[in-house]
């Protein structure tokens, strides 16, 4: 959370990412949080419609959904906290009053801007630099007759919830109550170990269900680079059917990515095996 209003992007790492829970999925709503996560190398996935052009699926907008591994990493680094839920700061009379005041003020300011806008349109219509009498007359008439209808007022439909979450006091809320939603099974442990290791080596990871694997591994930010690897995470003592190995190897070669079989080893590291399709020798 910001310490001061005039914050720039080169931040110290004491920023805490506020995570909202929706149907038990961890979502990031605030732009600062998305930036912080990205700076930590966590890509996530945007789920919402893009405000500028909502009716397309090429580029989506906030919220950002975190992978369970990303959420866990933030938690382990103590870089995330839970945002208060929807019912916690349901407006009292104070917030309602504030809202109405803000709306009224906005309306007045916009009226002024609209009048100015109309005036400058008139001025540019008349073309010449010279301000003649007729123009002055029209401008004055405008002052008297102009009305800005309520329906023309521009209104913001906020993406993230504003309010109490930005008070300093609420920062305490953030760290305290983190819902424990760990899945304690060996497979998800393996996934997390692999995720940590690869992230620590500077790779960026996203999910790879479509590619038959656990993660897609990028050498740099996915905005600029293609993925090089498909990571399949297995525990050391898990046995894997040869047909599955063949299937994932075939898939990898079809999409021109190298398949990595990844297993955490007892000493805390991860063992990687890449698959390469070669012919009969």
Residues within window 74-113 making contact with other proteins, judged by CB under 8 A: 85-86, 90-91, 95-96, 99, 105-106, 109-110, 113
CB of 132 to other proteins, least distance (A): 29
Phi then psi for 17, rounded to 5 degrees?
-85, 125
What the block records as the tokens of 28 is 């990031």
Residues 214-233 that bind other proteins (CB under 8 A): 219-221, 223-226
Q: Is 218 a catalytic residue?
A: yes
Of 204, 218, 228, 256, which one is the catalytic site residue?
218
CA distance 102 to 29: 23
Is residue 182 a contact residue for other proteins (CB under 8 A)?
no
Nearest to other proteins of 107, 272 (CB atom)? 107
Answer positive or negative: Cα dihedral of 97, 87, 180, 193: negative
- Which residues are within 8 A (CB) of 63 and not within 5 positions of it... i.e. 6 or more apart? 20, 22, 27, 28, 29, 46, 47, 48, 159
Near other proteins in 117-146, by CB under 8 A:
none
For 270, the token pair is: 């991860």
Which value, in Å, is the radius of gyration of the alpha carbons in the chain?
A: 27
The candidate with the shortest Cα–Cα distance to 115, out of 144, 136, 146, 145, is 146
Q: In the set 10, 12, 14, 55, which binds other proteins (CB under 8 A)? A: 55
Report the nearest approach of other proteins to the CB of residue 179 (Å). 13
Residue of the chain from 17, 20, 72, 194 that contacts other proteins (CB under 8 A) = 20
226 is catalytic: yes
Q: Pick out residues in 242-281 that bind other proteins (CB under 8 A).
A: none
Catalytic residues, by residue number, are 218, 226, 257
């Amino acid at each position: 959370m910001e310490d001061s209003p005039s914050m720039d992007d080169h931040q110290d790492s004491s920023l805490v990412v506020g995570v909202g829970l929706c149907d038990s999925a961890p979502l990031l709503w605030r732009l600062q949080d998305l930036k912080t996560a990205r700076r930590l190398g966590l890509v996530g996935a945007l789920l919402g419609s893009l405000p500028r052009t909502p009716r397309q699926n090429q580029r989506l907008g906030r919220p950002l959904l975190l992978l369970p591994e990303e959420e866990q990493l933030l938690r382990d680094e103590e870089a995330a906290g839970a945002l208060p839920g929807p019912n916690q700061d349901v407006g009292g009379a104070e917030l309602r009053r504030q809202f109405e005041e803000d709306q009224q003020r906005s309306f007045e300011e916009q009226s002024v801007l609209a009048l100015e806008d109309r005036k400058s349109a008139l001025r540019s219509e008349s073309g010449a630099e010279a301000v003649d009498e007729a123009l002055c007359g029209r401008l004055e008439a405008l002052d008297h007759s102009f009305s800005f209808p309520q329906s023309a007022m521009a209104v913001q439909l906020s993406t993230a919830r504003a309010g109490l979450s930005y008070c300093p006091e609420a920062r305490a809320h953030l760290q305290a109550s983190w819902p424990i939603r760990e899945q304690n099974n060996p497979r998800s442990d393996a996934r997390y170990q692999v995720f940590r290791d690869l992230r620590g080596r500077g790779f960026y990871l996203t999910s790879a269900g479509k590619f038959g694997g656990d993660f897609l591994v990028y050498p740099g930010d996915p905005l600029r680079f293609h993925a090089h690897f498909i990571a399949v995470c297995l525990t050391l003592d898990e046995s894997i059917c040869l047909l599955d190995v063949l299937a994932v190897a075939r898939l990898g070669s079809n999409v021109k990515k190298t398949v990595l079989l990844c297993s955490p080893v007892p000493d805390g590291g991860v063992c990687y095996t890449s698959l390469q399709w070669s012919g009969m020798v």
